[in-house]
Chains A and B, each alone.
Chain A
C-alpha cells in the first residue's frame, strides 16, 4: 500500500507563476513522483500567488482504467455536472481484508479504535444469508444519498450534499445535536466524543461535532481517488470502483449499465451514490 501522505519542505517564494512552476518542477525531481499533486500547487497554476507547498497528497501515479476522476480546476465551483459515486462488488471483497478501512483511517487521521464511542468512517460488515447461509463481506460507509435523511433533519444546515453529490458535514456550523445520526439509515455517522489532537491538515475534526465518510473530498478535488478505493485496487482486489455517475462513459456508469447495482435500503428511495453488486441471498 502506498503512503497516502508525504511532506516536503518546498518553498516558492516571491514567485511569479512561471517561477513557481519551475521551482516546483525542480523539487519534483527530488521527491515527487509522477502523478503526484501538490496540495496547493494545482491552484497556483491558475493564479499568481505566492504559496508554500506544505502538504503533498500523493495520489497513485497511473490513473487506472477503472476510474474517472475530477478534472475541475480548483478555482472553479463544483457543479452538478458530476456526481461522484462508488460501486462495490461484494463478490470481489475479501473476507477478513481491511485494507480499505486501514487506508481510510490513515488518510483521515483516525486512530482506528473500535469502541462504542469511537469514530469509524468505513467498516467491514460480514453478512450471512438467513436463507442460504451464504457469507459475504462488504465495506459500508456513508452512501452519499441524493435525498439524504441527514440533510433533511439537520437544524442548522450543517449536513449538506455538495453540488457534485458528496455528503458533507460543515463542522463550522454543526451544533452536535446528533439528529442526523438518528436519521441516517446506514449508521454512517460518528460523533466525536473526545478532544482531538494532531489532526491531519487535510482532515480537520473535533470534539462535539458529527463526522462521516466524505468520499475523501480533498483527494477527489485534486483529481485523486478515495483512499479506500485506492487501497482496494492496490491489494488487487478491485472490489471498488470510483467515478462520475453522470458521465455515461465513465467506467462506473458503464459497469452499472451492464450489470446494475443495488442500493441498500432501496425501499427508502434515497438514490444513493454508493451501489453494491453481488448481494443476492
Chain B
C-alpha cells in the first residue's frame, strides 16, 4: 500500500485570514440576529402560529442532511474499500462534522428558549424522534471524531476500518432520523409518507457530495496543489447517480401522493396551485436541482470541465435548499384538513393558505450556520493535516492509464 502524504494549509496569507475574517463576520451577524430574535421574541421573524418553522429550519435541516452525505467519500473509501477515495477521507469526515455543527447551531439558536439547552440535554422523552435526533447528532460527533482519530493517529490506525463502519451506519440512521421528523407528522397530509425517510438519505448523498466537490476544488485551487481529473471524474459521475436517485425518489413521492385520494389537495397545492411554493418546486427543485445538473453531468462536451462541475455542484446545492424549503415551508402553508368535506373559516386562519415572508434576522441566522461550518473547515485545515499533498492522477491511482 502506497503511503499518502498529508499536509495542512499554511494559513499565513492575507487571503486566508481574509477568508476567516469574512466568515467570522457572517457568524457575528448570525449571532446578533439570534440575540435580536431572542430578545424581542419571534415576533420579529416571519414565523407565525401557522408557519411555525421557517427559514432557520430550512438552513438547519439542509446543513444536517448534507453533513451526513459529506461523509460519503470517507465511507466509500473505508467501508467499500475504494482506493481512489482513500486520500480524501479525512477531508470528507471533517466537512461532515463541521456541517453538522453549523446546522445544530442554527437549530439551537432558533429555539424559543435557547437558554434552556441544558434542559434539552437532560430531559429526554424517548418517544420523541426529536429527542432521538439529539442523541443521533451527539453520536455522530463521537463516531466521526473517532473515525478521524483512527485516520490521523497511526497508533490506532488498525481500528480505522471499524470506526469507519460505525460512522457509516450511524450517519444512515441519522439521516433517516432527520427525515422521520417529518414522517412522524401524520396529521399533515404534506408529510405523511414513509418514503420521506429514505428520500432524505438520498438527498443527503447528493447535497453532501456537492458541497464536498466545491470544497475540494476550491481548496486545491487556492493552495496550488495538484488535483487530477481522475478524482473529479469519479466524483462527477457519483454526483450524477445521486442526483438521479433524488429525482427518482421525488417522482415516486409525488406519484404516490397523487395515487392516494386523501393527499390530493396537498399534492395539487405543491404541484400546481401553491404560488411561490409551486414555482420553487418546479424551477428550484426540479429544473435547477435536477434536470440541468443531470444534463450537464452527462454531457460529453463538458467532461473534465471544472467550471461546469463547480456550477453543477452549486446548482445541486441550490436545488437542495429549494427542496427543503418546499418540504418545510410549503408543507406547512397548506392548511390542515380538520374537517374534510367542509369549507372552513375562523379567526385562527383555518382553511386558508398561510403566507410566510422570511425576515432578515432569520436569513442571517441561517447564513451564520453556513459560516460556522465553513469556518470550522478552514480553521481545521490549518490546524491539522487533512489534505493529501497531491491528488494528481498518478498519485491517486498509479496504475491508471
Interface set of A (CB-CB < 8 Å, partner B): 114, 116-120, 123-131, 136, 140, 149, 151-158, 173-179, 181-187, 189-195, 207-210, 264-265, 268, 279, 281
Q: Is B185 located at the chain interface by the 8 A CB criterion?
A: yes
Interface set of B (CB-CB < 8 Å, partner A): 38, 40-43, 47-50, 52-53, 111-114, 116-117, 119-120, 123-125, 127-131, 134, 181, 184-188, 332, 336, 338-339, 341-350, 354
Q: Is the CB of A187 within 8 A of B344?
A: no
> Which of A118, A119, A192, A264 meets B339, CB within 8 Å?
A264
8 closest A-B pairs (Cβ-Cβ)?
A176-B112, A208-B112, A185-B187, A116-B48, A155-B130, A157-B125, A193-B43, A155-B131
Note all chain B residues with C-beta closer than 8 A to A131: 341
- What is the CA–CA distance of A124 and B347 in the complex, to the nearest angstrom? 7
Q: Is the CB of B49 within 8 A of A208?
A: no
**7 extra interchain contacts, Cβ-Cβ under 8 A, other than A140-B350, A181-B49?**
A118-B49, A154-B128, A155-B124, A175-B120, A191-B52, A268-B186, A281-B342
> Which of A156, A190, A191, A210 meets B123, CB within 8 Å?
A156
> Which of A125, A174, A192, A279 meets B344, CB within 8 Å?
A125
Q: Is the CB of B341 within 8 A of A129?
A: yes
> Which of A123, A128, A154 meets B348, CB within 8 Å?
A123
Note all chain A residues with C-beta closer than 8 A to B342: 127-130, 136, 281
Say whether, besides A152-B184, A183-B184, A264-B338, A194 and B347 are in contact (CB < 8 Å): no
Q: Is the CB of A130 within 8 A of B343?
A: yes
Note all chain B residues with C-beta closer than 8 A to A177: 111-112, 130
Q: Is the CB of B112 within 8 A of A156?
A: no
> Which of A123, A158, A194, A279 meets B41, CB within 8 Å?
A194
Say whether, besides A175-B113, A176-B111, A178-B52, A123 and B187 are in contact (CB < 8 Å): no
Say whether, besides A156-B131, A157-B125, A194-B41, A182 and B332 are in contact (CB < 8 Å): yes
- What is the CA–CA distance of A137 and B188 in the complex, to the nearest angstrom? 23
Note all chain B residues with C-beta closer than 8 A to A281: 341-342
Note all chain B residues with C-beta closer than 8 A to A156: 119-120, 123-125, 131
- What is the CA–CA distance of A189 and B348 in the complex, to the nearest angstrom? 11
Note all chain B residues with C-beta closer than 8 A to A193: 41-43, 47-48
Q: Is the CB of A140 within 8 A of B111?
A: no
Q: Is the CB of A265 within 8 A of B338?
A: yes
Q: Is the CB of A175 within 8 A of B49?
A: no
A–B complex contacts, Cβ < 8 Å, 27 sampled: A114-B348, A119-B49, A123-B350, A125-B350, A127-B342, A127-B344, A128-B343, A130-B343, A140-B338, A152-B128, A152-B184, A153-B128, A153-B184, A155-B134, A156-B125, A175-B112, A175-B114, A179-B128, A182-B332, A183-B184, A186-B336, A187-B49, A187-B336, A191-B42, A191-B52, A194-B40, A195-B41
Note all chain A residues with C-beta closer than 8 A to B111: 175-177, 208
Note all chain B residues with C-beta closer than 8 A to A190: 49
Q: Is the CB of B53 within 8 A of A127?
A: no
Q: Is the interface of B mostly helix, strand, loop or mixed?
A: loop
Which of A178, A184, A191 gathers most chain B CB within 10 Å?
Answer: A178
Q: Is the CB of A178 within 8 A of B53?
A: yes
- What is the CA–CA distance of A142 and B153 in the complex, to the nearest angstrom? 56
Say whether, besides A181-B49, A208-B38, A173 and B123 are in contact (CB < 8 Å): yes
Note all chain A residues with C-beta closer than 8 A to B338: 140, 185-187, 264-265
Q: Is the CB of A116 within 8 A of B50?
A: yes
Say whether, besides A123-B348, A129-B342, A181-B52, A117 and B43 are in contact (CB < 8 Å): yes
Note all chain B residues with C-beta closer than 8 A to A209: 112-113
Q: Is the CB of B350 within 8 A of A192?
A: no
Note all chain A residues with C-beta closer than 8 A to B354: 116
Q: Is the CB of B186 within 8 A of A149?
A: yes
Q: Is the CB of A155 within 8 A of B128?
A: yes
- What is the CA–CA distance of A56 and B56 in the complex, to the nearest angstrom? 44
- What is the CA–CA distance of A71 and B241 in the complex, to the nearest angstrom? 66
> Which of A129, A187, A195, A208 meets B113, CB within 8 Å?
A208
Q: Is the CB of B41 within 8 A of A125?
A: no
Residue in B closest to A134 when the chains form the complex, CB atoms: B342
Residue in A closest to B349 when the chains form the complex, CB atoms: A116
Note all chain A residues with C-beta closer than 8 A to B52: 178, 181-182, 191
Which of B43, B53, B129 gathers most chain A CB within 10 Å?
Answer: B43
- What is the CA–CA distance of A209 and B113 in the complex, to the nearest angstrom? 7
Q: Is the CB of A155 within 8 A of B112?
A: no
Note all chain A residues with C-beta closer than 8 A to B186: 149, 185, 268
Q: Is the CB of A265 within 8 A of B187?
A: yes
Residue in A closest to B112 when the chains form the complex, CB atoms: A176
Note all chain B residues with C-beta closer than 8 A to A155: 120, 124-125, 128, 130-131, 134
Chain A nearest CB, measured from B288 CB (Å): 27
Q: Is the CB of A117 within 8 A of B42?
A: yes
Note all chain A residues with C-beta closer than 8 A to B120: 155-156, 175
Chain A nearest CB, measured from B369 CB (Å): 16
Note all chain A residues with C-beta closer than 8 A to B125: 151, 154-157
- What is the CA–CA distance of A124 and B344 in the complex, to the nearest angstrom? 10
- What is the CA–CA distance of A93 and B391 in the complex, to the nearest angstrom? 75
Q: Is the CB of B112 within 8 A of A207?
A: yes
- What is the CA–CA distance of A114 and B116 in the complex, to the nearest angstrom? 29
Say whether, besides A130-B342, A185-B187, A264-B338, A120 and B128 are in contact (CB < 8 Å): no
Say whether, besides A131-B341, A157-B124, A187-B336, A192 and B187 are in contact (CB < 8 Å): no
Residue in A closest to B331 when the chains form the complex, CB atoms: A182
Chain B nearest CB, measured from A187 CB (Å): 5
- What is the CA–CA distance of A165 and B134 in the complex, to the nearest angstrom? 29
Say whether, besides A114-B348, A124-B347, A182-B52, A192 and B112 are in contact (CB < 8 Å): yes
Residue in B closest to A125 when the chains form the complex, CB atoms: B346
Q: Is the CB of B112 within 8 A of A178?
A: yes
Note all chain B residues with C-beta closer than 8 A to A184: 187
Residue in A closest to B42 when the chains form the complex, CB atoms: A193
Chain B nearest CB, measured from A168 CB (Å): 14
Note all chain A residues with C-beta closer than 8 A to B130: 153-155, 177, 179
- What is the CA–CA distance of A230 and B354 in the complex, to the nearest angstrom? 33
Q: Is the CB of B188 within 8 A of A182?
A: yes
Residue in A closest to B129 when the chains form the complex, CB atoms: A153
- What is the CA–CA distance of A117 and B348 in the complex, to the nearest angstrom? 10
